[in-house]
Amino acid sequence: MKILLQIFMVIALIMAGFNLFQIDWELPFEGKSMVAVIGVVASLSAFLLFINFKNFKKNIRENQKSIVMSFRSRD
């Protein structure tokens, strides 16, 4: 799961970079440029969601370890 998450994060950044080059900077909100702007925003949003998921997963592991250690210290 860790490797798959990193692969998705790289794909999201590549898609954002590709769409940045598709934007016509003189008219960024018309035609194909608008699609590219939406693609950049969507790709960066996906990247941020993957970062959040990675952090939540890390916090859950740490909490589980601390709970297990607290139960073991009671015995």
pLDDT tens figures, 26-46: 999 999 999 999 999 999 999
* pLDDT tens-digit profile, the chain (75 residues): 789 999 999 999 999 999 999 999 999 999 999 999 999 999 999 999 999 999 998 888 778 777 766 667 665
Torsion of CA 58, 5, 48, 34, to 10 degrees: -170
Rounded to two decimals, the pTM is 0.78
Domain positions in the chain: 2-74
Among residues 20, 11, 21, the alpha carbon closest in space to that of 41 is found at 20
